[in-house]
Amino acid sequence: MDFLSGLNEQQRVAVTETEGPLLILAGAGSGKTRVIVHRIAYIIAERGVAPYHILAVTFTNKAAGEMRERVGRLLADQRLQSAPLISTFHSLCVRILRRDIERLEEGHTRSFTIYDQDDSTRIVKAAIKDLGLDSERMGARQVQSAISHAKNSGTDADAYAARIEYGDEKRAAIARVYRLYEERLVNNNALDFDDLMIKAVRLLRKNKEVRDYYNDKFRYILVDEYQDTNSLQFALIRFLTERQQNICVVGDESQSIYRWRGADISNILNFEQHYPDAKEIKLEQNYRSTQNILDTADHVIKRNTERKDKKLWTSNPAGERIRYYQAFDAEGEARFVASKVEEHRRLDPSIRAAVLYRTNAQSRVFEEAMRRANIAYNIVGGFSFYERAEVRDIISYLKLAMNPHDSIAFMRVINTPPRGLGKQTLDELDRRAKDYGVSLWETLAIVTDPTQETRGFAARAASSLKNFQRVITNLVSVAQREPASEVVKAAILDSGYADALKSENTEEAEGRLENLQELVNAAVDYDREEGGGLRDFIDAAALVSDTDQYKRDAPVTLMTVHSAKGLEFPLVFMVGLEDGLFPHSRSATDPAELEEERRLCYVAITRAERFLYVTHAMKRRVYGEELASEPSQFLNEMPFDLMEDLSRGPSWLSFARSSDRLENAHAARALRGQTGGSTRTEKPYEGKTYNSADSIAEFFRQRGQQVNPRPAAGSSPPPVIKRRADAGGKSSSTVAPSAGDAGFTPGTHVRHAKYGRGLVLRREGTGDAAKLTISFPGFGQKKLIEKYAGLEKA
DNA sequence: GAACTTGCTGAATTG
DNA sequence: CAGCAAGTTC
């Protein structure tokens, strides 16, 4: 078989340069996966390397699965004894740790359990409570992310505590939670997601034997999506390439969108410094998108400064123009998308579409619109199968079957289904466990020991405890002799879970039973295909990710832009292109984060093969209240001459096209300033203006609604957009503070000395304390105290 | 002890 | 408008 046919010049080089460090800069749609797959096949078939000497690492199971499949197909006729290891970072670490974690001597044994996000949050929550810190208004999630952040940057609980500034109560509190959290993980013989990476790296650092083992095993290493690696993943790769340097990394810094998770873009930007003999190959031919789509993407991403210089090109036709639509509200946006999907599918019934949004919260209206239009859709993210309560419950039983000392699992199911064990009993059990300093499981044994007295427990509670103990003991023994699927069945039946659901006799319970049947099926499949035993089945369940829900053949897929990375669709809808949403308001303050948002935008655009729609709504419900929204600055960064306006009536785009450039001198300066003041030869700013007040007015007029974008002082007709209901709180007379108030109501355009023209989105508080949230094109959203802001009407 | 009601606070992106 | 914690009722 010829592994090079059908590849272009650069791709060929990327496949055949098998020795030494290699950096492949692969632009969007440039055939990256193809290259990786062929390269693996080439190393095996042409260089005669045994498959088990090859390791390919990805970030998602989905990517790993696809790679495995394609490599398998390429090598189908080779009759190989082994397979290359194609794995995610996380499962690679699990593998390493299951083998040797005991050599770390940090208290974990190789039968450790993996705690997912939800489990960790529970521990954090419990820790906060047990430390009596509840009062300090600390959200468990917040604390957890602080801990996670610390862990990932190599700061352990002691180091974290050592850096408490005097008077920093918050950090002091977090430090205590952090310590307790870590202690409990060890006590439960559990690792969280962060630990998987951390401990694996620490193990390799500490133990030369382990390091040698893997250096000998993996002689060729490939890393996919290298721009998303963080410092730990970098360290892991460094340890694995200690002896040999056959490291090939593939990535695209323009698609780095995980900075917030610790991804370090300099890993890819400085690859040549890390591996001095590195060669570099650029894949610049795009096979995916039309010229117009590519031009649009390029036009946007050009404003970023942190990037390697490369220019994607394509021999594809120019294609259709980008289609723009300004919707009245989120529902209108969704209706538009659904109707366009229908239209496209009428012309081409097999066309696949994606609706890409910035936040998961946006998905709901689209789901509804699709359902109403009777379009089959698949949604990625949100509640996945393995996140459903009933599935997690049964998994907890399975975890107990492997390790009854797992307190989180224990607490989760001791009264699920209800066994008459309430707070009293469980608190008592918990108290004793802490007293004795043993796990809940051991405590249970002590408490139910017939030679002891079950003092402090009601007779009914005591018998329930014994019952639960019996259930788990039985499961443990089933797990020792039966395959995973049998343990799953036993967990569902013996626990009384199935009976409890049956007796509920509701449709919801029916659905849950079906989900559990589904879990049994998954386990049966697992036994047949992987045969790795219950342990691996649970591990796999813990490591499934949202993006693994993607179904290639769904007619329409709804997902976040993040989840869409690596995918492609003939028809793409980018929705919610609004200031504060995309780019997200949380990234407005930091130029580096704004650049990341722009890369995210670039990722979204480049998912499209043939048709790209960009939409935004003029108002949207956030927190159940209506907020006005301005078009995204990214829309402004797209080349208008490649866009076609499908809006009904005048739109932001039509105004932007016709407006003069003076109006936006501020915005132009801001845009240039924010992108690092680059001195590109390209014309700086094309003088398009945000001027949607008029178009909003027009829209409302068309719908016969009242609108008042420029309220006359003194008499304010009801504003279009509702003010947040007394968000200020305490004031006793909270009735219509905006009336008679000379202040600016949401929907008003104002002018600010520094930021120029902007739209008031929201008003909080009254009188002198009034705080305004204003969207300034080019500057994003600002919160200003009205009294000091020196605003004028615009 | 369990099911229900009220009141509050708080959402970005993910393995 | 959520989802969750605390409070209330059976």
Residue A747 reports pLDDT greater than 50: yes
Nucleotide with minimal C1' distance from the CA of A424 is B1
**Residues composing chain A:** 794
Q: Two tokens at A157?
A: 């609980």
Spanning CA of A362 to C1' of C2, the rounded length in angstroms is: 13
Instruction: Kindly state the average pLDDT of the residues A599-621.
Output: 96
Q: Cβ within 7 Å of strand B: which of A 131-160?
A: 137, 139, 141-142, 148
Per-residue pLDDT reduced to its tens digit, A559-576: 999 999 999 999 999 999
For residue A703, the SS3 value is coil
Spanning CA of A246 to C1' of B6, the rounded length in angstroms is: 63
Residue A520 reports pLDDT greater than 90: yes
Spanning CA of A213 to C1' of B9, the rounded length in angstroms is: 52
A653 vs A424, residue with greater confidence: A653
**Residue A794 — pLDDT band, cuts 50, 70, 90?**
low
Instruction: Kindly state the average pLDDT of the residues A302-313.
Output: 83
How far is the C-alpha of A635 from the C-alpha of A582, rounded, in Å?
10
Residues A41, A74 contacting (CB under 8 angstroms)? yes
Q: What is the pLDDT of residue A10?
A: 95
Answer yes or no: is A551 CB < 7 A from strand B. no
Residue A726 reports pLDDT greater than 70: no
Q: What is the pLDDT of residue A384?
A: 75
How far is the C-alpha of A635 from the C-alpha of A686, rounded, in Å?
13
A350 vs A588, residue with greater confidence: A350
Residue A729: alpha-carbon gap to chain centroid: 34
Residue A732 reports pLDDT greater than 50: no
Per-residue pLDDT reduced to its tens digit, A41-65: 999 999 999 999 999 999 998 899 9
How far is the C-alpha of A250 from the C-alpha of A282, rounded, in Å?
10
Per-residue pLDDT reduced to its tens digit, A113-155: 998 888 888 888 888 888 877 656 667 888 888 899 899 888 8
Q: What is the pLDDT of residue A713?
A: 32
Per-residue pLDDT reduced to its tens digit, A165-187: 887 777 888 888 899 999 989 98
Nucleotide with minimal C1' distance from the CA of A129 is C5
**Residue A663 — pLDDT band, cuts 50, 70, 90?**
very low
Residue A449 reports pLDDT greater than 90: no
Residue A678 phi, psi (nearest 5) = -65, 145
Which helix (H) or strand (E) segment holds residue A115: the answer is strand A113-115
Q: What is the pLDDT of residue A702?
A: 33
A708 vs A125, residue with greater confidence: A125
Answer yes or no: is A722 CB < 7 A from strand C. no
Q: Two tokens at A667?
A: 């915005």
Residue A233 reports pLDDT greater than 90: yes
Residue with tokens 């505590």: A161
For residue A766, the SS3 value is coil
Answer yes or no: is A718 CB < 7 A from strand B. no
Residue A294 reports pLDDT greater than 80: yes
Q: What is the pLDDT of residue A81?
A: 85
Spanning CA of A229 to C1' of B14, the rounded length in angstroms is: 13
Q: Cβ within 7 Å of strand C: which of A 78-137?
A: 125, 134
Residue A697 reports pLDDT greater than 70: no
Q: What is the pLDDT of residue A128?
A: 83
How far is the C-alpha of A177 from the C-alpha of A84, rounded, in Å?
42
A603 vs A694, residue with greater confidence: A603
Q: Two tokens at A718?
A: 């009801």
Instruction: Kindly state the average pLDDT of the residues A613-642.
Output: 91
